[in-house]
Structure 1
Amino acid sequence: MRTALSILYRAAEILGAVALALIAVLIVTQVASRLFGRMVPGADELAGYCMAASFFLMLGPALRRGAHIRVGVLVERLRGGARRAMELLCLAFATALSGYFAWYWLRMTSDSYEFGDLSQGVLPIPLWMPQATMAAGLVVLVVALVDDLLAVLQGRPASYQNAQMQSEG
């Protein structure tokens, strides 16, 4: 199971990086085409979709690496059972909230697909495509949160705590 989860997190990370690279390609192509008096139709729109895809796909891997901005002022002052209880409470709340967003984003993506919604920009892009990358990122985040919640329930540190200990040590 750990191998499958590692592959999932790595795949989301790679896809997020590919989306970032596509932004760079679109920008360079747009700049180069302007030198020749041309334009790439919809480049701004596509770059925006790639930015959203990159952001959402990187949510789960960033959590696992301890790269999320966390407000640990209270949690870091607690010790023992109180700290564990607060970590569990925070992880449970984050899992529930992220699960709620993922569920409704998946529903919206499904509706966009069923209704054939198209973007309003220069290129008529089916909206379910960029929405699906965002939904996938939210699902990976929920999986990562559940993974950490189960770890803390079993008495192990969360992934972001392991990452923090490794960076400090």
Structure 2
Amino acid sequence: MQQSLSRGSSPLALLMRGVSRLNLYLAGFSAFVLLAATAAVFCEILSRLFFGKSLVWVVELSGYSLLYMTFLGAPYLLEKNRHVAIDIVTEHLPPRLQMPLAFLVALFGAAICLYAAWYGLAVTLDQFQYGSRETTVLAPRSYLLTWVFPLGMVLLSIQFVAQAVACLKR
């Protein structure tokens, strides 16, 4: 989290501390999902090796796990600046241009994430309203898979706004 936003007892500081805590919990859950998916794949390998039978649900579950890991873990990574960043261009800019560009990139990231969250929420609510199911072996309700997308996008947009504000304070 941007330290300047989490200091003090203002409503914004309290909100950012709460968001940071939520990001940490979701990242922990994301790590648990990774561990569970890895264990399931390991069991699949053992099942094929010793029993000659495949656990048909493992591949599907692994795919769902990737969705959860990505969108629940990304806000934490962005908060801690541990996400993938391509900064070859910005590193070679004059220092006086680096901060304004970082500010604009953060605002653009926030806008894109909010836009994606809005449409992701619309899709998720539509799936919930109509009771959509996936056409797979496990056939889960679709909204149980897609709800992580709008949540992750909202949390990412909050982190991008925090980055933009931090740029203004430097």
TM-score range, shorter chain: 0.7 to 0.9
User: Aligned AA for 1:30?
Assistant: E
Return the alpha-carbon distance in structure 1 between the equivalents of residues 167 and 161 of structure 2: 10
Say which is worse superposed, 65-74 or 4-13, in terms of deviation: 65-74
Partner SS for 1:58: helix
Taking structure 1 as the reference length, the TM-score comes to: 0.83
Confirm whether residue 20 of structure 1 aligns to residue 34 of structure 2: yes
Partner SS for 1:71: coil
Return the alpha-carbon distance in structure 1 between the equivalents of residues 54 and 150 of structure 2: 31
Of residues 8, 25, 30 in structure 2, which corresponds to 1:11? 25
- Equivalent residue runs for 1:92-111 within 5 Å: 92-111=107-126
8 Å Cα contact 2:114-2:154 kept in structure 1: yes
Taking structure 2 as the reference length, the TM-score comes to: 0.82
The unaligned stretches of length 5 or more in structure 1 are 156-169
The unaligned stretches of length 5 or more in structure 2 are 1-13
Shift of 1:106: 1.3
Say which is worse superposed, 31-40 or 41-50, in terms of deviation: 31-40
Of residues 99, 109, 125 in structure 2, which corresponds to 1:84? 99
- Equivalent residue runs for 1:24-35 within 5 Å: 24-34=38-48, 35=50
Shift of 1:80: 4.7
Aligned residue pair count: 155
User: Aligned AA for 1:9?
Assistant: N
1:28-52 C-alpha deviation (Å, 9 max, x unpaired): 2222332224433422111100111
Return the alpha-carbon distance in structure 2 between the equivalents of residues 85 and 33 of structure 1: 55
Confirm whether residue 121 of structure 1 aligns to residue 142 of structure 2: no
Partner SS for 1:117: coil
Say which is worse superposed, 108-117 or 63-72, in terms of deviation: 63-72
Confirm whether residue 131 of structure 1 aligns to residue 146 of structure 2: yes
Shift of 1:25: 2.0
Shift of 1:110: 0.9
Shift of 1:143: 1.6
Return the alpha-carbon distance in structure 2 between the equivalents of residues 117 and 153 of structure 1: 44
Return the alpha-carbon distance in structure 2 between the equivalents of residues 143 and 61 of structure 1: 11
8 Å Cα contact 2:128-2:142 kept in structure 1: yes
**What value does the CA root-mean-square deviation take over the aligned residues?**
1.7
- Equivalent residue runs for 1:48-59 within 5 Å: 48-59=63-74
Partner SS for 2:45: helix
Return the alpha-carbon distance in structure 2 between the equivalents of residues 20 and 136 of structure 1: 19
Q: Kindly report structure 1 stretches of 4+ aligned residues shifted beyond 3 Å.
A: 78-81
Confirm whether residue 68 of structure 1 aligns to residue 83 of structure 2: yes
